[in-house]
Amino acid sequence: MTMATGPASWRVGVDVGGTFTDLVVASDELGVRVFKVPSVPADPAAGVLAALERAASGLGMVLEEFLRSCALLVHGSTVATNTVLELKGARVGLLTTAGFRDSLEIRRGRRSNPWHHREPSPLPLVPRYLRQPVRGRIDREGNEVEPLHAADVESAARLFTEEGVNSVAICFMNSYLEGAHERAAAAALGKHWTGRWISVSSDIAPLMGEYERTSTTVVNAYVAPGTVGYLQTLDRRLRDLGFAHSILLIQNNGGAVSVEQVADRPVTLLLSGPAAGVGALEYYRRAIGSGDLISMEIGGTSCDVIVMSDGTVPVTDDLTIGDHHLSIPSVEVHTVGAGGGTLAGVDGAGMLFVGPRGAGARPGPAAYGLGGREPTVTDAQLVLGRLRPGPYADGSVSLDPDLAAEAITKSVAEPLGVDLDAAAAGIVRLLEQHLLHAVQRLSIERGLDPRRFVLVAAGGAGPMHGAAIGRLLGCRRVYVPRVAGAFCALGMLHSNVRHDYVQTWAGHLEAASVEHLDVAYLGLEERARRALAAAGFAPGARLEREVDLRYLGQQWDVRVRLDGPSKPDPERMRAVFELEYDRLFGHHQPGGIVEITKLRVVGIGTLPALRPRDAMRAAAPAQPIERRSVYLDAARGRVLLGVYRGGDLRPGHRLSGPLLVEEDTTTMLVGAVDVLEVDDASNFVIELLAEA
Amino acid sequence: MILDGVTLALVQNRLDNISQQMGWVMTRTARSPIFSHAHDFSCFIADARGEIVSQADGIPIHTGGGGFAVRALLEAFRGDIAEGDAFVLNDPYVGGGNHLPDWVIARPVFVDGEIVAFTCNRAHQSDIGGGAAGTYNPEAFEIFQEGIRLPPLRLVARGTTREDLWQLLLVNTRTPHFLDGDLRAMLGSTRIGAEQIGRLCGQLGRDTALAYFAGILDHADRRFQEALRGLPSGIYRGEAWFDNDCFTAMDIPILVALSVSADHLTVDFTGTAPQIRGFKNSSLANTYSSVYTALSSFFDPSIPRNSGTFRNVTIVAPEGSLVNPRPPAPMTMCTVFPACQIIDAIWQALGQADPERSCAGWGNSSFPICSGVKTSGETFVMYHWAGASGGGAVRGRDGFPQQGGVNTLCGLVIPNIEAFEQLYPVRIARQELRCDGGGPGMYRGGTGVSYEVDVHRPVQFSFRGEGSSKFPARGVAGGGCGATGEITIRTSDGDLFVAPPYGIRHVSPPRLTMVSSGGGGWGNPLERDPALVVRDVRDGVVSADAARDTYGVVLQRDGWRVDLPATEARRRTLRGGHVCPDPSAVGESQS
């Protein structure tokens, strides 16, 4: 595969969401173009092909021609995620160490909210009778203390065949230290069971903690047949149509990977959509000129927050999907149920609430006229004049302000005894408080001061709240991408290819032999190098060594990055660790015993950056397309606001708020004392000035 | 001042966020793993009179009890509290504490020279001296054997830490490095909270802010009364039992009578046993917290949990009883036992008022502790959390198979077996669901587990818990009781003995075998969906005998399908006869 983007070639990002499929085409020549088509949940591949056809015809081409000159096609797909959320996965069998077949069901006794104890925990993805015990034991040091009983595997294989199991997960005790029993069991299983899908925990998630490792392996087995099948079919169809490469997928770690390389671990695709936000931040940080960014991507039902500090987005080993706990390297994304479709009302004792319930795509906001009677945030924005009434997204929905006003009057204004504007403004303020707290959580928990960050407001609904949240956070600038509504699809075009490899290590830092550490790192690097070479990054790959360290007896690891491929130097490791510990916890323990827990290698194949030609600069002052009565805030009330068409705003334009900008995929509100500027990359910068 | 429902929501939400932020700061800065890992602390905000206005962060069994601490320090220092002060206390008798290991740091927040609030952090310390390492002394019969007692003390005076007092605290713990760091973390988190409250008052204006603090309490009161109106007026009774006083086998009742009227609830513990010799007495603060936990977990979880919520709840706890003992009764165990018993008794009473929402009893756990010395010479202390019990059922779900205690409502997360094996000289052989452990019901109780572990070193066992109590977890609405549990120990010398519920034993390297108790069932087992019974039989958590005799479900010859006609006939017979024991009768016979 060649990564160069020639003059007649472009990159395509396709993000399949629940309602819409977003497609972004970008090239140096063309700049960035966005296309949106309805998703086809029953046949996601058809939705992708429809989006590609639409883009091709938008560029005046037939599909084959378009695909032939496509250098890179990156796909973010919710197929794996939906398989888990909708419980539509494979019939899975599990081989476990005898005595421990129930860790998947016990779930370590974890509940997401103790006060909601009446809600059932999710049923285990493998029922107990298909969780088959196998005798054999590896001890805490990775030594065999009881040999594997192959006969147990055999009888389980017979049961799996009888029961129509089509995917098997294998997770044995302490296999993160020594995977020999798991490999032997996989081999024995292959002789007696004819299925194709075997997921082995020591390959997929070689980390301590049998519950999370089992859960990860089981989810992998659960999504594998459907997800991999879908991706292989799509890959083949596109090749038949003339696309010369493999499609790339976005993984939980924010990096891209080919279909072939993800086929044995589709569990790494569960966060595929939101994780692409990292690529978008990578892209915009150049234009913004800062590596300290907080993105807030708000859609209809939820808001995803990502914090990039000093150019790096933290990757953790924890991921929770549909209340399943997984250990798999994943970008840290904090999601809250707050978006345009979030429902509002008044409780029985006279207090306003917003969320956590949402109206979904159907019936959606009351203003859609599809039967929704409860008011949503979108209804409030419409009533306040911030959203234009009428059709959106090529007429697939239409907003009726009378229906919105009726719902807010009945459910909020009357019970609170306030007027319609006050009720609608209250809904927006309370939602914005929830959003603020979501951002604060991620930043404060990591010991970061949000005031030095630039807030990136994205998603269809993000730019409406960006300036307000930025002000509450104390940020000085808010950045609004012109294609805010296709943030993740754009991010996919800028996601580097990435592979994470990890090896558990037990021992004190002081006692570690430099040679042994180096041998282990070299082994991990070899795997990373091979994977990157297979993806077309023979030279030009970047390998990073990381190590997880902690003080003796501490429960939390601190991950630090080591410099270059030089031999690992324990003294240097300690120094870097203490520095990071200080930053996170405000102190460190001079002379404290430090343990190594994991060695990691991150392999990155860097895509060349797109350098879009400069957009046409502003030639004349921008004129509003209309002046509309808009409720601004409590102090100012309703104001006649200029409404601008996004396309009329060019690099060089600088306008004082308050004003509204309508773009294809979003609407942006600029506050009373804010200043809007269009930067050289043709995106929007809102400067938040101090209130007079 | 007329309050509006929008600002009310904004202020409540902001206060909740401030108490959560205090928790994040605590988790990030505290030293001992009990905070970062087990989250055994709570951050809360009280108003100037010691009424809690927000407690969004923390574990259920700390709910609402913190008000006692603030009121105790107000009593002790009335008129002598200055800006920049911070206070520490733990004593349940004179300091408003719940038990000695939980220390409270309380910091007054001043605006325009007047106290508007206290930001507080209540946290379980790693060690506070006393007769046993690690804060739990199962042989205590006086509070003096449980650790250092702190009445309300001024730890920081006008911004300056009292160094002499600080040193006094540090010399009274076996882990001064933890205490030193953790106290600093607690002080830091209350300072962050105080700054934020100050900022909020600055934005709203002091008087408006205070009016909204009061409004938040009024709102919670209205929400709770709304819930209360859903219950028919009357008197409802509940009971829970201990079968020992930590030293001797004896039956010890906790009795409660709930008087429900349209706008008021009285929770009366009259008839509860006198205070006992062992450390399972409950401080008044813990009794209140347990009542609040029971009430909050029974009703809609969206009802706020602050002092206003319980304004119209009167608690009668006779002095000298197990739920309000006189000094010097010991009580360190109280946040678990009798907290679980108090919650259970109140759930039982509430369940009579509203059977649809009734909650079956959760199995009680034992958490024995092994301590010893590794071959490396390093000491270790291991809690056997992996032997925890099963939870009770409610309408709509079966009981959780294994859980950390009804006092935390699953807030306590059980560590992985692999983590235990790395940290301690043990090999664990088994942690598996029991068969027929869960109380039968339309919704089945959680099964509990069988847990077996080989400990490779000689150890001191500290036993503490109700996991082998003869009183099983209660079934409700026609559901049956959970199975009881047992702990046995076989030492490398060949000794085999049944562990006592409380006490200390020194043994050569042992194999510990625990069978944990199961949770109670909800509803008549004859009405359980036969498909679910088949699933349970296939899964080996319900025996074929129990399916036939208790659930009235007859399986086809293949064992995997229901024989519907035979099942219907069987269920008719069982409904007519008395094959399924009446669970309430079981309860009576044991009391």
- pLDDT one-digit tens code per residue, A608-626: 777 766 678 888 999 999 9
Q: Do A114 and B535 touch (CB under 8 A)?
A: no
Q: Is B85 helix (H, G, I), strand (E, B) or coil?
A: coil
Task: Return the CATH fold of A497-605.
Answer: Dna Ligase; domain 1 (3.30.1490)
Close Cβ partners of A350 (under 8 Å, ≥ 6 residues apart):
A415, A416, B5, B8, B219, B222
Distance in Å, alpha carbon of A210 to nearest chain B alpha carbon: 6
Going by their DSSP bridges, the two strands A131-134 and A92-97 should be labelled as: parallel
Residues 6+ apart with CB under 8 A from B142: B328, B329, B330
Any CB–CB contact under 8 A between B374 and chain A?
no
pLDDT of residue A246: 85
Q: Please tell me which of the candidates A120, A208, A426 has its beta carbon nearest to residue B422.
A: A208
Name the pLDDT band for B33 (thresholds 50, 70, 90). low
Are A352 and B432 a contacting pair at CB < 8 A? no
CB B222 to CB A348 under 8 A? yes
What pLDDT score was predicted for residue B581? 47
Q: Are B279 and B192 in contact (CB under 8 A)?
A: no
pLDDT digits (tens, 9 = 90+) for B78-102: 889 999 999 999 999 999 999 999 9
Q: Which residue of B has its CA nearest to A355?
A: B302
Closest partner residue to B429 (CB to CB) among A99, A105, A437 is A99
- Chain B residue with the nearest C-alpha to that of A422: B6
Q: What is the mean pLDDT of residues A65-71?
A: 89
Is A209–B416 a contact, with Cβ atoms under 8 angstroms apart?
yes
Q: Is the pLDDT of residue A640 over 70?
A: yes
CB contact under 8 A, A127 and B408: no
Query: Which chain A residues are within 8 Å of B17, Cβ to Cβ?
Result: 433, 437, 440
pLDDT (tens digit per residue) in A163-184: 999 999 999 999 999 999 999 9
List all residues of chain B from 507 to 566 with a beta carbon under 8 Å from chain A.
535, 538-541
Residue B93, CB half-sphere, CA atoms under 13 Å: how many? 17
pLDDT tier at A586, thresholds 50, 70, 90: low
Find out whether A448 and A457 touch, Cβ atoms under 8 Å. no
Residue A555, pLDDT > 70, answer no
Contact assignment for A113 to B301 by CB distance below 8 Å: yes
Tokens matching residue B488: 């046995």
Please write the tens of the pLDDT for every residue from B428-458: 999 999 999 999 999 999 999 999 999 999 9
Among the listed residues A419, A416, A423, A379, the one whose alpha carbon sits nearest the alpha carbon of residue A401: A379
With beta carbons under 8 A apart, name residues in chain A contacting B24.
441, 444-445
What residue of B is the nearest CA neighbor of A505?
B422
State how far the Cα of A687 lies from the Cα of A691, in Å rounded to an integer.
12
Token pair, residue B494, equals: 């060949």
pLDDT for A286-318, tens place per residue?
Answer: 899 999 999 999 988 889 999 999 898 988 888
Of B223, B397, B427, the CB nearest to A118: B397
* pLDDT classification of A7: cutoffs 50, 70, 90: very low
Give the gap in angstroms from C-alpha A343 to the nearest C-alpha of chain B.
Answer: 15
Whether the per-residue pLDDT at B582 is higher than 70: the answer is no
The mean predicted confidence, pLDDT, of chain B is 93
Pairwise CB contact (< 8 Å): B539 & A108 = no
Of A432-446, A526-540, B501-515, B554-568, the least confident? A526-540
Of residues B4, B24, B29, nearest to A416 (C-beta): B4
CB B350 within 8 A of CB B294: yes
ω before B301 within 30° of 0 (cis)?
Answer: no
Domain-by-domain residue ranges, chain A? 10-83+228-269, 497-605, 626-687
Q: A6-10, A63-67, B64-68, B505-509: lowest mean pLDDT where?
A: A6-10
A586: distance to nearest CA of chain B, Å?
7
CB within 8 Å of A349: residues ≥ 6 apart: B219, B220, B222, B223, B226
Kindly state the average pLDDT of the residues B355-381. 93
Cβ pair A430:B432 closer than 8 A: no
Q: What are the tens digits of pLDDT across the range A222-259? A: 999 999 999 999 999 999 999 988 899 999 999 888 89
Q: Which residue would you say has higher pLDDT here, B273 or A328?
A: B273
Interface residue B266 vs chain A (CB under 8 A): no
Interface membership of B424 toward A (CB under 8 Å): no
Question: Could you tell me which chain A residue has the CA closest to the CA of B416?
Answer: A209
State what percent of residues in chain A have pLDDT above 90.
61
DSSP structure string for A94-154: EEEETT-TTHHHHGGG--S-GGGTTSPPPPPSS-GGGEEEE--EE-TTS-EEE---HHHHH
For chain B, give percent helix, strand, coil, nearest 5: 35, 25, 45
Partner residues linked to A548 by β-bridges? A559, A598
The answer on pLDDT for B338 being more than 90 is yes
Distances in Å between the alpha carbon of B46 and those of A214, A460, B193, B566? Answer: 44, 40, 11, 62
Is residue A293 within 8 A of residue A500, CB to CB? The reply is no
Residues of chain B found within 8 Å of residue A100, distances taken between Cβ atoms? 417, 430-432
Cα A689 to Cα A450, A464, A478: the distances in Å are 17, 18, 11
Q: Which of A139, A352, A556 sits opposite B5 (nearest CB)?
A: A352
pLDDT at residue B588 is higher than 70: no
Amino acid in position B118: F
B372 - beta bridge partners?
B380, B459
CB contact under 8 A, A106 and B296: no
Please report residues of B whose CB lies closer than 8 A to that of A580: none
From the list B4, B220, B410, the residue facing A110 with the nearest CB is B410
**Which residue would you say has higher pLDDT here, B589 or B211?**
B211
Runs of H (alpha helix) within A409-513: 414-416, 420-445, 462-473, 487-492
CB-nearest partner of A114 from B24, B410, B417? B410
Computed over every residue of chain A, the mean pLDDT equals: 90
Give the pLDDT score at B69. Answer: 97
Nearest to A117 by CA among B400, B387, B442: B400
pLDDT in tens, B151-187: 999 999 999 999 999 999 999 998 888 899 889 989 9
CB atoms within 10 A of CB A483: 23
Report residue B507 CA to chain centroid gap: 30
* Residue (of A230, A284, A232) closest to A258 by Cα position: A232
Domain A10-83+228-269: homologous superfamily in CATH? ATPase, nucleotide binding domain (3.30.420.40)
pLDDT at B578: 46
Note the pLDDT tens digit of each residue in A365-395. 999 999 999 999 999 999 999 999 999 877 8
Report the chain B residue with the minimal C-alpha distance to residue A425: B6
Residue A584 in this model has a pLDDT that exceeds 90: no
Q: Which of A555, A556, A598 to mutate to test the interface with B (most CBs of B within 10 A)?
A: A555
- Asked if the Cβ–Cβ distance from A102 to B432 is below 8 Å, we say yes
Question: Above 60 in pLDDT, residue B499?
Answer: yes
- The pLDDT value recorded for residue B34 is 66
Q: How many CB pairs under 8 A join A and B?
A: 185
* Span A185-208, pLDDT tens digits: 999 999 999 999 999 999 999 889
Percent of chain A with pLDDT over 70: 96
Interhelix angle B5-29/A570-585, nearest 10 degrees: 150
Could you tell me which of B132, B152, B179 has the C-alpha nearest to residue B70?
A: B152
Q: Is B113 exposed, middle or buried (0-12, 13-18, 19+ CB in 10 A)?
A: exposed
3-state secondary structure of A45: helix
Here the tokens at position B372 are 């010893």
For residue A518, the distance in angstroms to the closest alpha carbon of chain B comes to 24
Measured distance CA(A505)–CA(A462) in Å, rounded = 43
B263 or B31: whose pLDDT is higher? B263
**Chain A closest CA to B134's CA: distance in Å?**
15
Phi, psi of B97 (to 5 degrees): -80, 165
Q: Does B253 touch chain A (CB under 8 A)?
A: no
Tell whether omega for the bond before A274 is within 30 degrees of 0, i.e. cis.
Answer: no
Would an 8 Å CB–CB cutoff place B456 in contact with chain A? Answer: no
Q: What is the pLDDT of residue B37?
A: 60
Residue among A208, A349, A418 minimizing CB distance to B4: A418
Out of B219, B296, B538, closest to residue A351 by CB: B219
Burial (CB count <10 Å: 0-12, 13-18, 19+), residue B505? middle
How close A298 comes to chain B (CA, Å)? 20
d(CA A191, CA A239): 34
Cα(A218)–Cα(A100) distance, integer angstroms: 15
Residue A488 reports pLDDT greater than 50: yes
pLDDT band of B38, cuts 50, 70, 90? low
Asked if A106 lies within 8 A of B422 by C-beta distance, the reply is: no
Confidence of residue B531 (pLDDT cuts 50, 70, 90): very high
Instruction: Report ipTM (2 d.p.).
Output: 0.94
Mean pLDDT within A27-40: 82
User: Which residue of A208, A437, A440 is in closest CB contact with B419?
Assistant: A208
Of A198, A224, A280, A334, residue with least CA distance to A495: A280
Count how many Cα atoms sit within 13 Å of the Cα of residue B169 in the half-sphere of its side chain: 26
Residue A499 — very low, low, confident or very high, per pLDDT cuts 50/70/90? confident
**CB-based contact B403 A441, cutoff 8 Å:** no
Tell whether B48 is within 8 A of chain A (Cβ): no
Distance (Å) from the alpha carbon of B400 to chain A's nearest alpha carbon: 8
Q: Do A585 and B430 lie within an 8 Å CB cutoff?
A: no
Quick one: pLDDT at residue B203?
A: 93
Across the range B526-541, mean pLDDT stands at: 97
- To the nearest whole angstrom, how far is the Cα of A123 from the nearest Cα of chain B? 11
* Lowest-confidence pick of A441-450, A472-481, B415-424, B477-486: A441-450
Does residue B433 sit at the A interface (CB-CB below 8 Å)?
Answer: yes
Q: What distance in Å separates the CA atoms of residue A59 and residue B140, rounded to the nearest whole number?
A: 82
B 177-206 residues inside an 8 A Cβ radius of A: 181
Identify the weakest region by mean pLDDT among A496-510, B10-24, B550-564: A496-510
User: Which chain B residue has the Cα nearest residue A141?
Assistant: B422
